[in-house]
């Protein structure tokens, strides 16, 4: 039985493994990378553009030429936020006002685990399994000039498409079946990355601590779904004013520790 990749704990356990990470990047982006450290909840100091934001999974290649960031999100109301993260990762390379060169290529991969609920500006529903945003100029004939190569990729396995390449389909199947068919998944076990990921998130390979953390994350999602995020933040404020501990507040509201710390700072 597989752990649920819709769960933050399970997702990070799988995709912070170097075998899984590099295989995923190769299949999704078509590039081979060698990374040193894979970080979670990555922040930048000093802050970029006075914005304090946090990246789920972040890595730089050993040669420092490529930056890769992976985000997991249940709901697409974060769409604008991840676009913001993408451009902030590019802006982070501007170390001083005199330096305008961008030495690293930035890739952001967002995995959405719920069907899209947003529409295009013309009202048409978005039902795409793979969405790509490439940052390169093109001329009036539509010819692309490969100056930057930065790429933003959104994956949503809830909207299967016939033209999705198999190398991407393998990972979308893993994500979808871990959520909807964890007991009898049908996966491409010839893919080393998929095989390693299933090994890592198999229920019998989760430690008691990981199982508890995953269970708490599921409980948090249920709480927020029931009371709503705004109400959860209101409850958190009252708990902070009464001197409650952050972990206690997280348990009763379903908010993350990072969200609670931001509320705490705002009340000072």
Question: CA geometry: angle at 23 spanning 22 and 29, to 5°?
Answer: 85
> What's the length of the chain?
268
Q: What are the b/e assignments for 152-168, b being 16+ CB within 10 Å?
A: bbbbbbbbeeeebeeeb
Q: Which residues touch 85 (CB under 8 Å, ≥6 apart)?
A: 53, 55, 69, 71, 108
The answer to whether 262 touches 250, Cβ cutoff 8 Å, is no
What are the tens digits of pLDDT across the range 32-90?
999 989 999 887 766 665 556 678 899 999 988 888 888 887 766 567 777 888 888 88
pLDDT tens by residue, 121-164: 888 988 999 999 988 999 999 999 988 889 999 999 999 999 99
CA 78 to each of CA 116, 181, 251: distance values in angstroms, whole numbers, following the listed order: 11, 26, 23
User: For the chain, how far is it from start to end, CA to CA, in angstroms?
Assistant: 46
CA distances (Å), origin 151, targets 66, 88, 189, 257 = 11, 13, 28, 30
Q: How many CB atoms lie within 10 A of CB 249?
A: 24
Q: What is the pTM of this model?
A: 0.78
- Asked if residues 3 and 203 have their Cβ atoms less than 8 Å apart, the reply is yes
7 pLDDT band, cuts 50/70/90, is confident
Q: State residue 20's pLDDT score.
A: 96
Domain boundaries, the chain: 8-206, 208-268
> Given this model, what pLDDT does residue 223 score?
55
Beta strand 66-73 with 55-61 is antiparallel
Question: What local confidence, expressed as pLDDT, does residue 75 receive?
Answer: 65
Q: Would you state the structure tokens that stand for residue 70, as one six-digit string?
A: 């992976």
Sheet strands side by side (includes 150-155):
35-42, 55-61, 66-73, 105-112, 150-155, 130-135
Tokens of 120: 């295009």
Residue range 181-206: mean pLDDT, rounded = 93
- As a whole number of angstroms, the distance between CA 196 and CA 63 comes to 25
Where does residue 245 fall: left (phi above 0), alpha (psi -120 to 50 degrees), or beta otherwise? beta
Beta partners for residue 144, in sequence order: 138
CB 195 within 8 A of CB 17: no
pLDDT, tens only, 169-190: 999 999 999 999 999 999 999 9
Kind of pairing between the strands at 130-135 and 105-112: unpaired
């Amino acid at each position: 039985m597989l752990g649920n990749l819709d769960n933050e704990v399970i997702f990070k356990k799988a995709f912070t493994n170097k075998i899984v990470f590099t295989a995923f990047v190769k299949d999704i982006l078509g590039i081979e990378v060698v990374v040193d450290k894979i970080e979670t909840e990555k922040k930048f100091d000093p802050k970029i553009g006075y914005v304090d934001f946090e990246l789920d999974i972040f890595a730089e290649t050993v040669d420092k030429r490529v930056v890769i960031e992976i985000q997991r999100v249940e709901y697409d109301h974060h769409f604008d936020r991840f676009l913001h993260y993408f451009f902030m990762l590019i802006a982070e390379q501007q170390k001083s006002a005199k330096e305008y060169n961008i030495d690293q290529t930035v890739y952001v991969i967002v995995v959405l685990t719920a069907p899209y609920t947003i529409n295009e500006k013309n009202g048409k529903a978005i039902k795409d399994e793979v969405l790509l945003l490439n940052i390169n100029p093109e001329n009036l004939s539509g010819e692309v000039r490969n100056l930057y190569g930065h790429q933003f990729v959104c994956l949503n396995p809830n909207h299967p498409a016939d033209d999705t390449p198999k190398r991407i389909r393998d990972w979308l199947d893993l994500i979808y079946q871990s959520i909807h068919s964890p007991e009898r998944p049908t996966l491409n076990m010839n893919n080393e990355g998929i095989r390693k990921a299933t090994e890592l998130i198999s229920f019998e390979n989760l430690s008691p601590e990981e199982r508890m953390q995953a269970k708490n994350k599921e409980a948090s999602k249920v709480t927020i779904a029931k009371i709503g995020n705004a109400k959860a933040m209101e409850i958190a404020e009252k708990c902070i004013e009464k001197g409650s501990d952050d972990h206690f507040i997280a348990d009763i509201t379903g908010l993350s520790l990072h969200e609670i710390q931001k509320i705490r700072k705002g009340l000072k």
